[in-house]
Chain A
Amino acid sequence: MTHEQIADIAELYALGMLDESERAAVDEHLLGCSTCAQRLAKAEGDVALIASMEPQRTAPRELQARVDRALQNRRQPWMPAMAIAAAVAIAFLPSLYLWSRTDALHRAMLAQTDAAQRLAGAPHRMARFRTMPGMPPAELAYAPDGSWYLVLVHDASKRLSVAWMHDGTKTMLGDVVPSGHLASLYLPKSHPMDRIALMDGDRIVAEVTLSWGKTSRDRQADRSA
């Protein structure tokens, strides 16, 4: 609400003629505006003057006790809560931020190490994404049984989402975040997926289709075993 709007409705506010939402908007403005508070004080003074000239009655004596009981029962519950929240924010947020950063880095390193061990020691297949023009090359390393996947994007300049496309719907699996020359997303516990896409927002920018039949290389490996 602007100063002009407050000036326009100050008398209505003082007379109790505004609805709840209008009144709340004025209250919010008044918290930070002493000029409008003074403007309103004048209107409230006029209303109070007229109200005090109406027929006066002596307040019942028991009303004081009732008011005092209300003040005992309803101590501002927001005060301790706000104070505690503020203290937590001031004292712990920097630590929390560092912890979350460190934890995220730690988890990323573990995932990278796990992925590297998989690539080095476990049988896997490689597939290349078909990419839209202008998109960086991307590959997919994955277990022959579909139990894990590693999405690799070379020289990625922006965050891309990885989605499993199935039955006319898509399931978001995570993001590939640009980091150096090779960005990756490791999906350690998974299942066979036929079609995986890279998405830039809502737009599919790369796609790969997987075949789960045994390759000649698989069959050769089976024979050797």
Chain B
Amino acid sequence: MNPAPGGDEALAVAFAAHERWAFSEAYRQNASVLYSAAYNVLGNADDAKDCVAEAIARLWRAPRPYSPGRGSLRNFLIVCVRNEAISRRRHHARRTRMELRLAGMASAHEPFEPGDPIERDRVRSAMLALPPEQRTAIALAFYGGKTHSEISAELREPLGTIKSRIKLGLRKLAAALELPKTEEGAR
């Protein structure tokens, strides 16, 4: 192992250069937030562990997974793990739908297993402050793991309208949740 001499920035540069130690260290520094991101989408420990390990391995295999110009390595990793988790959940949902269909029990709505993050007070407050149509679109996107086309079909709204609602809703939500740097860094 070669710990980064210059902190986050050096770690990001080494990660971009495909240094093995940097991948390992990046995971170590963000282990809990990455595991939680996967768990909150997938809803169980085994799937979350598989998801995190595969997300990191996938980046390791990719020719150019990240560049420092892309922004914070931590944010990048969280998004990658979430995306891996969402893909797995969609795959699982497709399989479940097919099994239900085969059993003659097709359901229009998929169960949403993960713990509801809206329980968290600050997130709940921020979500409730959104206009209802943006709140619905964000909830389906962020917690439901649905594609924009699926949301558009489910809400019977044009794709462009859904995109706008998600874009505006996400910005407002992030702005409401923005933390002082010191507090964020302590997480």
| Interface of A toward B, CB cutoff 8 Å | 8-9, 11-12, 14-19, 30-31, 34, 37-38, 40-60, 62-64, 66-68, 70-72, 74-79
Contacts and interface: CB of A to CB of B under 8 A. Distances in A.
B155 to A, nearest CB: 14
A38 B71 contact: yes
B22 to A, nearest CB: 10
A48 B69 contact: no
17 contacts: A9-B163, A12-B163, A14-B79, A37-B67, A41-B76, A46-B173, A49-B174, A49-B178, A49-B179, A51-B82, A57-B39, A60-B45, A67-B52, A67-B56, A71-B60, A75-B20, A77-B61
A53 B120 contact: yes
B170 A15 contact: yes
A47 B80 CA distance: 11
A40 B70 contact: yes
A48 B31 contact: no
B57 A63 contact: no
Contacts of B35: 57-60, 63
Contacts of A15: 141-142, 166, 170
B187 interface: yes
Contact of A53 (B151, B171, B177): B177
Contacts of B82: 16, 47, 51
Interface in B127-172: 141-142, 145-149, 151, 163, 166-167, 170-171
B53 A59 contact: no
Interface residues of B, number: 66
B18 interface: yes
Contacts of A31: 64
Chain A binding surface SS class? helix
B23 to A, nearest CB: 5
Contact of B170 (A16, A37, A46, A55): A46
A57 B148 CA distance: 29
A55 B40 contact: yes
B28 interface: yes
**Most chain-B CB neighbours within 10 Å: which of A34, A68, A72, A77?**
A68
B142 to A, nearest CB: 6
B41 to A, nearest CB: 9
B1 to A, nearest CB: 10
A111 to B, nearest CB: 46
Nearest to A8: B163
A44 B63 CA distance: 21
A168 B135 CA distance: 69
Contacts of A18: 147-148
Nearest to A61: B31
Nearest to B21: A71
Contacts of A55: 36, 40, 115, 117, 119-120
A45 B71 contact: yes
A63 to B, nearest CB: 5
* Shortest Cβ-Cβ A-B pairs, 7 listed: A41-B71, A46-B174, A48-B75, A59-B35, A59-B31, A16-B83, A70-B57
